[in-house]
Amino acid sequence: MSKLQVKKTFQSLVSSCQEKYPVLRSPGIRSVFLFFNFFLVIMAYYQVKPASRSLFIESLSSSRMPYVWIASALAMGFFITWYHRLVERHSRMHVVLGTCLSVSVILLAFRLAFNQSGPVQSVLFYVFVDIIGVVLVEQFWSLTNSIYTTAEGKTWFGIIGSGGLVGGVAGGWAAALLIEHTSMKTPDLLVVAAGIILLISVLTWAMGRIGLYCEVERGNPELPPTHGWQILSQSRYFLLIAAVLLLAQIASPLVEYQFLNTVEKVYTGMDARTAFLAMFFSTMGLISIGINVVITPLVTRFLGTIAGLLVQPVMMGLCSWGFLLHPTLFFSGATKISDRALSYSINRASKELLYVPVDPVLIYQAKAWIDMFGYRTFKIVGSVLILLMTQWLPVTMSVNELSWFTIVICGLWVMFVMFLRQEYKVIYQKTQ
């Protein structure tokens, strides 16, 4: 089939799709549906996220966490490669529906497996949760990105994305209430998540039937053959961006390890630990929403993009210093919040602003390398560092002494942000 025939076929499909329920296809109404869809995606994830952490700690203890992080990063690489090939061969709608049904069945299978809890089930479940957390979100945005123009996306994506933040708050809160105020146990949260994901599949199917997933026609420009790592090596600006983002990936496992180790000591019962983690994740999401709504606009507008990038490393460094001096749940929780809540709010907004003055094709290639290869590789580096310092070397460090590494990483992070400031000013001025 020629390119002209393909274009005519696509236009015919779009035309027939747009004839369905045109009133519901207005950007505002469509965004309400997508807000609720993304809300359910993250709500389901926040049922299994605290459960996976708590079940793993129960079976193997938090000291084994770095091993499962390494396994998860490696498994993610293999799975995403296979998944992208699957998407190339089948329609995105069929892949999404098939994934939702498969994930629900696998969650129910894991629930049965946890009738006899053991380390194998806990490790496999942890890795599975990490994978579906990435896949379900990627699937949602792949469908969403295909049905909005760039102008519509700038208007509505912030509202749609807020559905995920609210879903995280509601999901963690619901999981904690179910554990604390019903007869449900930690493994029963898998059944709740399976039910929510089945609801997502029904909602997605219904949205497709009424024409809410009519794709927008776009050009398909050829991407130059340059690889992401080559762009980084040839551009000081992209290299500095990569350094800032990847330093965060080394620090994140250190913070997570300290937090989960402290939680394990304070909450010795599995269900109590699950309820605490669920409520903590919910609170962290609520803080992230507050920062996004109140602080992020003020900082980026009046202090600039670079100031927004400095907030996370400065706060992480200060909280890590507090945990070094007083290794309590308060300081480990504060460090965790300064890592994730700021990463999901002000740091993400500032990071995306760095790409605005750059050619879109270069952005695509550089981000693909950083997101697909760099993030996993540097998370493995952070995990190996923990194992070296706490288990493998003849002289080991205590959990709170790992904060020295976090403080050093945050110092390097701030330094690279200041280098980036000069490059950003030059590139930004060229585009004005």
Is 363 within a domain? yes
Residues 154 and 241 in one domain: no
Query: The dihedral of CA 185, 186, 189, 191: what is its sign?
Result: negative
Residues 51 and 166 in one domain: yes
pLDDT in tens, 311-327: 999 999 999 999 999 99
Distance CA(258)–CA(271), nearest Å, equals 20
| pLDDT for residue 13 | 43
Q: What's the whole-model pTM score?
A: 0.89
Residues 395 and 266 in one domain: yes
Q: At 290, which CATH number?
A: 1.20.1250.20
pLDDT in tens, 331-355: 999 999 999 999 888 887 788 778 7
pLDDT in tens, 67-94: 999 999 999 888 877 877 787 788 878 8
pLDDT in tens, 152-177: 776 777 788 888 889 999 999 999 99
Is 9 within a domain? no
End-to-end CA distance of the chain: 43
Of residues 9 and 38, more confidence is placed in 38
| Domain span including residue 417 | 225-425
Look at residue 131 and tell me whether its pLDDT is greater than 50: yes
Residues 49 and 128 in one domain: yes
| pLDDT for residue 155 | 75
Residues 235 and 149 in one domain: no
Look at residue 1 and tell me whether its pLDDT is greater than 60: no
Confidence band (pLDDT; 50, 70, 90) for 261?
A: very high
Is 280 within a domain? yes
Residues 285 and 357 in one domain: yes
| pLDDT for residue 229 | 63
Confidence band (pLDDT; 50, 70, 90) for 360?
A: low
Residues 164 and 248 in one domain: no
Number of domains in the chain: 2
Residues 209 and 239 in one domain: no
Using alpha carbons, list the distances in angstroms from residue 224 to 229, 238, 374: 13, 17, 21
Distance CA(348)–CA(351), nearest Å, equals 5
Distance CA(9)–CA(39), nearest Å, equals 34
Domain finish residue from 191, 213, 235: 213
pLDDT in tens, 39-70: 999 999 999 999 999 999 999 999 999 999 99
Residues 390 and 285 in one domain: yes
